[in-house]
């Protein structure tokens, strides 16, 4: 039982990790970023690249991946997304196109084969708590997910940028009247969300094989988390990751992994239909 809870927490923290960037973008800009999975994939490839050519320590890949994907996110917003505000379906398609382009660029430069990343020694061991063994890497993912969540909260609620971002989310016109550079805020938001995806990619590369097509799974997972959690708050994302993680581990424990995934997707569809604002949204007005 305890191991089931731990596995749920572990799955939940991976979900939180990959979905956080998407929540920031979708929650505050209302944009469905289908390239999100590919940004995660890119973060993973930053690790591969640094291991092969730069020989940086694993942990240094985290800020490096953040920088690379955030920069790319900034570019994507400036060149593509900005031109499509108000055309939601086209934004979805355009970001999907970007995802395809990123996938092909990586496939052409790194090859289609699976890549493995070696993880530093202190992250490979196991800890024992009573009966249950806990992989150090799982613990690390949990901690990184929490840390990123804390950083995102800090940025949103304790910085000028965060205040302006929340203002733009509520009402872009009035924000502009009050002297907020709406376009700039949106660019930075997109960059922040993309950067978070990159960091998630680095962490994911430590326990899953890295391949050009790995992003597709993550984009679907992230959407489930965001949809179930509701768009308005980061806290909803955490709650929904925890819920979905435990549902996944319970169903997988009772039957199999495939059915667990099917149940998650079915749950997401039901939530979209019956609770369009998500399960963890505080009722306002």
Partner 1 sequence: MVSEMNLVKLKRFILSPYTLFIVAILIPPLFVVDPFWVNRLSLYLVFSVLALSMSLCWGYAGILSLGHGVFFGLGAYCMAMSLKLLSPDSLTQGTPFPLPDFIVWNTPPGEALKLPWLWVPFQNQWFGLVAALLVPALFAALVGWFVFYGSVSGVFISIITLSMVVILNLVIIDQQPLTNGFNGLNNLAMFNVGGFEFDPYGLPTYYLIAIACALTLLGTRWLTQTKAGLIFKAIQADEQRVKYFGYDIAAYKIFALSVSAMIAGLAGVLFVINSQYASPTIMDVTLSIAIVIWVAVGGRDSLIGAAVGAIAINAIQNVLSESESLINVWRLLLGILFLLVVMFLPKGLASLGSLLQRSPSVTTDTATPVEAVDSQPLKLLSQVEPRK
Binding footprint of partner 1 on the chain (CB under 8 A): 32, 80, 83-84, 88-90, 92-94, 96-98, 100-101, 103-105, 107-108, 216, 220, 223-224, 227, 256, 258-259, 261-262, 265-266, 268-269, 272-274, 276
CB of 73 to partner 1, least distance (A): 16
Q: What distance in Å separates the CA atoms of residue 41 and residue 273, rounded to the nearest whole number? A: 30
CB of 83 to partner 1, least distance (A): 6
The answer to whether 198 and 39 have CB atoms below 8 angstroms apart is: yes
Fill in the DSSP letter of residue 115. Answer: B
Q: Which two tokens stand for residue 137?
A: 């890497």
132: left (phi over 0), alpha (psi -120 to 50) or beta: beta
Q: What distance in Å separates the CA atoms of residue 21 and residue 219, rounded to the nearest whole number? A: 11
Q: Which is nearer to partner 1, 5 or 272 (CB)?
A: 272
Q: Which is nearer to partner 1, 34 or 204 (CB)?
A: 34
CB of 202 to partner 1, least distance (A): 25
Q: Which is nearer to partner 1, 26 or 66 (CB)?
A: 26
Kindly report the number of other CB atoms within 10 A of residue 28's CB atom.
Answer: 23
The answer to whether 42 and 69 have CB atoms below 8 angstroms apart is: yes
Q: Which is nearer to partner 1, 151 or 265 (CB)?
A: 265
CB of 104 to partner 1, least distance (A): 4
CB of 121 to partner 1, least distance (A): 37
Residue 135: closest CA among 151, 116, 119, 115: 119
Residue 220: closest CA among 155, 151, 269: 269
Tokens 């995802």 identify what position? 99
Q: What distance in Å separates the CA atoms of residue 232 and residue 278, rounded to the nearest whole number? A: 9
CB of 87 to partner 1, least distance (A): 8
Q: Which two tokens stand for residue 190?
A: 């997109």
Q: Which is nearer to partner 1, 94 or 239 (CB)?
A: 94
Q: Which is nearer to partner 1, 166 or 261 (CB)?
A: 261
């Amino acid at each position: 039982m305890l191991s089931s809870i731990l596995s749920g927490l572990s799955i939940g923290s991976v979900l939180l990790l990959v979905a956080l960037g998407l929540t920031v973008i979708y929650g505050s800009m209302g944009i469905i970023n289908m390239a999100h999975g590919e940004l995660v994939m890119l973060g993973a490839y930053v690790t591969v690249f640094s291991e092969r050519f730069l020989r940086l320590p694993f942990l240094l890949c985290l800020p490096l991946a953040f920088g690379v994907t955030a920069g790319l996110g900034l570019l994507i917003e400036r060149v593509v997304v900005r031109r499509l505000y108000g055309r939601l379906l086209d934004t979805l398609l355009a970001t999907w196109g970007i995802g395809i382009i990123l996938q092909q660029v990586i496939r052409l430069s790194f090859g289609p084969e699976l890549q493995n990343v070696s993880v530093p020694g202190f992250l490979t061991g196991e800890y024992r708590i009573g009966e249950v063994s806990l992989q150090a890497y799982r613990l690390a993912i949990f901690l990184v997910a929490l840390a990123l969540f804390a950083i995102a909260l800090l940025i949103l609620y304790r910085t000028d940028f965060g205040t302006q971002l929340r203002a733009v989310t509520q009402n872009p016109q009035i924000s502009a009247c009050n002297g907020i550079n709406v376009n700039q805020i949106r660019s930075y938001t997109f960059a922040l969300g993309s950067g978070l995806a990159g960091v998630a990619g680095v962490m994911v590369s430590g326990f899953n094989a890295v391949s050009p097509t790995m992003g597709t799974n993550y984009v679907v997972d992230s959407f489930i988390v965001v949809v179930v959690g509701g768009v308005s708050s980061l806290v909803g994302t955490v709650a929904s990751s925890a819920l979905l993680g435990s549902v996944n581990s319970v169903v997988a424990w009772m039957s199999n992994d495939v059915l667990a995934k099917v149940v998650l997707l079915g749950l997401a569809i039901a939530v979209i239909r019956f609770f369009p604002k998500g399960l963890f949204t505080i009722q306002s007005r």
